[in-house]
Amino acid sequence: MLPYLLAVWIFLAGLYGIVTSRDLIHTTVCVSVCQSSTYILLLAIGYRKHATAPVYGDIPSSRRVVDPIVQALTLTDIVVAVAVSSLLIALALRVYDSSNSLDPSQIVGQRG
């Protein structure tokens, strides 16, 4: 049960960071924190006791393995997270260009 609750905790911590963020780069990092909670949740769900990695190079095919599907999902999840982060930072740079600030409350034409 603990790994699931850990995922919930990390998600809420990231959310707290997003809500109280005074800097758009910091916000981006907090979004990554939120996303990393999904890796923990996925991997925790797929874990099986006394199981090994689902790679049959040198283990017998009868060996118990963890769920390969959630691992594949986590892999693609990480790729999406990187794409989102890079895009958000690029947007933050453009915001800085136009308003000379990364603080959401200082940005002209935006309140937050």
Partner 1 sequence: MTNQLRLALFGVGALCVGALLVWGVLDLPAFGHYAGPYGEIIARVVEPQRHMANAVTAVVFDYRGFDTMGEELILFSAASAVALLLREIKEEDTISVVDAVRSDALNGVGVLASVTTFVLALYVVAHGFISPGGGFQGGVVLATAFLIVFLTVEYHAYERLATTRFAEPLESFGAGAYVAIGLVGLGLGFSFLENFLPLGVTGRLRSGGSAAIVNWASALAVAGAFVLIFSEYLEGNMAARYGRGRRL
Token pair listed for 65: 């393995």
Contact 96, 102 (CB under 8 A): yes
Binding-residue pattern over the window 20 to 59 for partner 1, x denoting contact by CB under 8 A: x-----------------------xxxxxx---xxxxx--
Q: Among candidates 20, 23, 22, 24, which has minimal Cα distance to 92?
A: 24
76/109 with CB nearer partner 1: 76
CB of 2 to partner 1, least distance (A): 7
Query: Residue 28, Cβ neighbours under 10 Å: how many?
Result: 20
Mapped onto helix, strand or coil, the DSSP state of residue 65 is: strand
> Which residues contact partner 1 by CB under 8 A?
1-5, 7-8, 11-12, 15-16, 19-20, 44-49, 53-57, 61, 65-72, 75-76, 79-80, 82-84, 86-87, 89-91, 93-94, 96-97, 111-112
